[in-house]
Amino acid sequence: MQSQTALAPLDHWRWRRADAEARKKQLDTLKESCQNASYLKSVEISSAKKIEADSHSRKKIEFMTEKQREYAKTAQRLETSLLRSGLKKEVCHESLVAAKEKLDALETELKPLKLKLESYKELPPDVELAKVKVAEARQELAELTQKLTSEISMLHI
């Protein structure tokens, strides 16, 4: 009997220790549960915000799609109206742009021809007058050559 009474404080100590460990486990579980609840709450809030943003985006896309349909119908109606009123293909934007590009190409081809023509503008229209003008130019060249030769020979003296 003495051994049982001697073991009583040890059993009591073991029981208190087991009880303390159980309480610690319960506190840890409670703390974990609170953390999980907090995380769950933040996830719910985040999810609600994302759902709201998605809903807003969906509404915006629906609005834009409806506007696109409306604009397509309006464009078709206006195009039909233009064709009924006698619009010619020659005055459409695409035709005018193509004509402008063709005009630019022709102007580019014309530039060298204009420069060549400018060189002939000083000539008289009559062939005989042109020969006289060429003869005058040759005479002037001969005089200038003579003058240059004499100037050079005076430098050597």
Q: Which of 27, 47, 23, 24 is nearest to 35 (CA)?
A: 27
Query: Which has more confidence, 108 or 38?
Result: 108
pLDDT above 70 as % of the chain: 94
23-61 pLDDT, tens digit each = 888 888 888 888 888 888 888 899 889 999 999 999 999
What was the pLDDT predicted at 4? Answer: 59
Using DSSP's 3-state secondary structure scheme, residue 88 falls into: coil
Q: Where are the domains of the chain?
A: 1-87, 90-121, 123-157
- Yes or no: say if 133 and 123 are a contact pair by the CB < 8 Å rule: yes
User: What would the mean pLDDT of 99-109 be, rounded to a whole number?
Assistant: 93
CA distance 124 to 137: 14
Number of H helices, E strands in the chain: 3, 0
**Contacts for 133 with CB less than 8 Å, ≥ 6 apart:** 123, 124
Q: Which of 53, 77, 52, 56 is nearest to 64 (CA)?
A: 56
State the average pLDDT for the chain: 86
